[in-house]
Amino acid sequence: MGKRIISVLLIVGICLSVTACSPVENLFDIINRVTDNDNPLSGKSTDERIIMSLKDTYPEHTFSAINSFDNDKGEGLFSDEKGIKFRVHNLIYNNTYHFGCEDDYLATILNEQNYISQASDIATKYGYALAYDEENEIVSIQYAEDFQQTDDFSYYSKMVYEILNVVEIPTVVDPDTEFSTGEVNYYSSPCMGTLLCDITYHTSKTSLRISFEDKDLSEEQIQAKFKEEYQWLKETQE
């Protein structure tokens, strides 16, 4: 940051020495140009922003636009290097510092392997039920009606581990979806990229979010996530 300020001041000095422009006008023009150079979103089209975001979420792959994002339709068609085509949709932000969208890349790969059917079979085997909201592409694990929750999540975590590893998928990096004023952030959120797992304590219920970024975790590490969420829910009721 200090080096950038010094560079700006040097450029301002040179500019003022060779032009008759207003010092204030020159200062703002130069600072804006320097700021733009430091902003990876600057000068990028919507398609370019989408591809940047996809690359961060799926770092092993490269992407290109097949049909450019259409603002009227609210979607575009993209492809990876292997020719897998998928939709990108639901632009959440698209401004100077912030860009966010959702993609069906992971969902396309999961559907090709009958993920919902396989995951549902695993959930049933363990006495749970899998629910899939097709419109919003959300997958959740729910208890059977007569299930009694305890603080032993070994069975639950074993089931989740099996579900996460029942299909072959690319490396997925959970995007940072939080935005702060003046700070650059861009992301693409993978549809069907998480499991929402019900946790109850007496009459209260919450959902633990498990993502495909967690697929390399051990059963014990997944169990620790459940216990932490359960303890939080328990404390809110005491």
* 0.75 exceeded by pTM: yes
Q: How many CB atoms lie within 10 A of CB 160?
A: 29
3-state secondary structure of 175: coil
Point out the least confidently predicted range of 4-18, 31-45, 193-207: 4-18
Could you tell me where the beta strands, DSSP code E, fall in 178-226?
Answer: 185-190, 194-201, 204-211
Residue from 49, 108, 204, 56 nearest 65 by CA: 49
Residues 6+ apart with CB under 8 A from 152: none
SS3 call for 164: helix
**Please, which residues have CB within 8 angstroms of residue 211's CB and are 6 or more apart in sequence?**
172, 174, 193, 194, 195
Q: Is the pLDDT of residue 73 over 50?
A: yes
> Residue 129's beta-bridge partner residues?
142
Give tens-digit pLDDT for 14-67: 444 444 444 443 443 444 344 467 899 999 999 999 999 999 999 999 999 999
What distance separates the 2 farthest-apart alpha carbons in the chain?
A: 82
Pull the structure tokens for residue 143: 């208890």
Closest CA to 154 of 166, 146, 162: 162
Q: For position 143, what pLDDT does the model report?
A: 80
Pair 140, 195: CB distance under 8 Å: yes
Would you state the pLDDT for residue 75?
98
Q: Quick one: pLDDT band at residue 180, thresholds 50, 70, 90?
A: confident
Q: Are 131 and 142 in contact (CB under 8 A)?
A: yes
Residue-range domain boundaries for the chain: 2-37, 46-101, 109-236
Cα–chain center distance at 127: 30
Backbone angles phi and psi of 55, in degrees to 5: -65, -35
Q: 230 CB contacts (<8 Å, ≥6 apart)?
A: 149, 151, 153, 199, 201
- CA 200 to centroid of chain Cα atoms: 26
- Cβ neighbours of residue 167 closer than 8 Å, sequence gap 6 or more: 109, 110, 113, 115, 118
- Pair of tokens at residue 117: 């059917």
Place of tokens 């040179």: 14
Instruction: For 122-159, write each residue's pLDDT tens digit.
Output: 999 998 999 999 988 999 998 876 566 677 899 999 99
Between the two ends of the chain, the Cα-to-Cα distance in Å is 48
